[in-house]
Amino acid sequence: MKIKKAVIPVAGLGTRFLPATKTVPKELLPIVDIPAIQYVVQEAVDSGISEVIFVTGRGKDSIEDHFDEAPELEQVLEGRGQTETVKNLRRIAEMIEVVSVRQKRPLGLGHAVLCARDLVGDEPFAVLLSDDLIEASVPCMQQLVEIFEEKKESVIALRRVPEQEVQKYGIVQGKQLSDRLYEVEDMVEKPRPQEAPSRMAIIGRYILRPEIFSFLEKVTPGKGGEIQLTDGISKLSREKKVYGYEFEGEHYDIGDKLGFVRATVAYALKRTDLKEQVREYLRTVIGEK
Ligand code: UTP
Measure 131 CA to ligand 1 centroid, in angstroms: 8
Whether 254 contacts 39, CB under 8 Å: no
Q: Is 26 in the pocket of ligand 1 (CB under 6 A)?
A: yes
Residues 6+ apart with CB under 8 A from 141: 6, 43, 44, 46, 47, 49, 126, 128, 205, 207
From CA 8, how far away is CA 132, in angstroms rounded?
12
Residues 66/37, Cβ–Cβ less than 8 Å: yes
Distances (CA, A) of 245 to 102, 128, 142, 158, 175: 30, 15, 12, 5, 12
CA 13 to centroid of ligand 1, rounded, Å:
6
Could you tell me the distance, in angstroms and rounded to a whole number, from the CA of residue 246 to the centre of ligand 1? 23
pTM of the predicted structure, to 2 decimals: 0.95
Model pLDDT, residue 289: 57
In single-letter form, the type of residue at position 248 comes to: E
Q: How far apart are CA 4 and CA 49, in angstroms?
A: 5
* 55 pocket-lining for ligand 1 (C-beta < 6 Å): yes
Q: Pinpoint the alpha helices (H) of 95-199.
A: 109-115, 117-120, 140-151
Whether residue 11 has its Cβ less than 6 Å from ligand 1: yes
State how far the Cα of 126 lies from the Cα of 44, in Å rounded to an integer: 8
- For 11, 15, 112, 226, 264, the CA distances from 22, given in Å and listed in that order, are 13, 8, 20, 21, 21
The pLDDT of residue 9: 98
Mean pLDDT split into 10-residue runs, the chain, 289 residues: 95 94 96 97 97 96 95 95 95 94 95 98 97 97 98 97 93 95 93 94 98 95 86 94 98 95 96 95 84
Type and span of the H or E element at 218: helix 212-218
State the pLDDT at residue 287. Answer: 80
CA of 112 to the centre of ligand 1 (A): 9
